[in-house]
Every structure is written in C-alpha cells, then in structure tokens.
Amino acid sequence: MTMETASNSSNQTALERGRAIVAQINPGLEAALAERYDVLFPDFAETLVEFAYGRLYAREGLDLRTRQIATVAALTALGGQTGPQLRVNLEHALAAGASRRELLEVILQMSVYGGMPAAINGMNVAMQLFEDQDALTS
C-alpha cells in the first residue's frame, strides 16, 4: 500500500487496510485512542480505524494526501470546537505529503465557507503545531 493509493484488496479486511494507513501517517493512533476511549466505549479505537481509515481513506479515487487535505478543510470549516481533531489531521496531512503552505492555504480558503473566525481558529491550531514541530527539531 502506498501513499498514492490504498488497495481494497479482497485479501485484506477493512481493519487491516485501516491499520496499514494509520501505520503510514500516525503509528500510535490506535493505541492512543484505545487507551483514552476503550474503557468507556469498548473497541472504539478499532472501530474508528476500521471504518474511517479501512473503509473511507482506503477507497480508490483520491490519494491519501488529498483525503487529508479535504479533512483539514472540513474540520476548519466546522470551527473552533474541532481544534484537537484538526491538529491530528494536520499532522496526518503533513505525513501524507502535504506542505505547510498548502495546509495554510486550505485553512484560509475555508474562511469563505466556515467564516473568518473558523479560519482564524484553524490558523492558530496550525501555527501552534508548526511551532511545536520546529521546537522539536531545533
């Protein structure tokens, strides 16, 4: 499975496809979700990986980078309440090959659809992520 396309091979289950995609963009995601949510919602992490990544992100027609950019756009347009999810998906988009500039442009574009406050909230999330990443590499 490559970043460009994800195989919907009949030899792989949706969970296996999802885990393969998560391994590319955020190897610790399923374990982090399980640690946080599975006590209250058993199998939540596995369900999310299977459905979101194994069934939707693994579909043919869009590469992983494009799907992540679309996710960043949607989360930005939804507004400030999606800040934590936006940060995670900004990280995923970068891991899938999107540039910082592209992501900032997508966030700004969402000012037309989600309003300027949503775009400002998105820019703040992105700026904080980039600062945190730069601090780790300095």
pLDDT digits (tens, 9 = 90+) for 67-106: 999 999 999 999 989 999 999 999 999 999 999 999 999 9
Asked whether the whole model's pTM tops 0.85, one would answer yes
Q: Residue 58 carries which DSSP code?
A: T
Residue 2: per-residue pLDDT: 47
Amino acid sitting at position 63: D
What tokens does 48 get?
């999310």
- Helix or strand or coil: residue 27? coil
Number of helices followed by number of strands (H, E) in the chain: 8, 0
Amino acid sitting at position 69: I
Domains recognised in the chain with CATH numbers: 1-61 (no CATH), 63-138 (1.20.1290.10)
Q: What is the pLDDT of residues 28-42, one digit of tens each?
A: 999 999 999 999 999
Q: How would you class 138 by CB atoms within 10 Å of its CB: exposed for 0-12, middle for 13-18, buried for 19 or more?
A: exposed
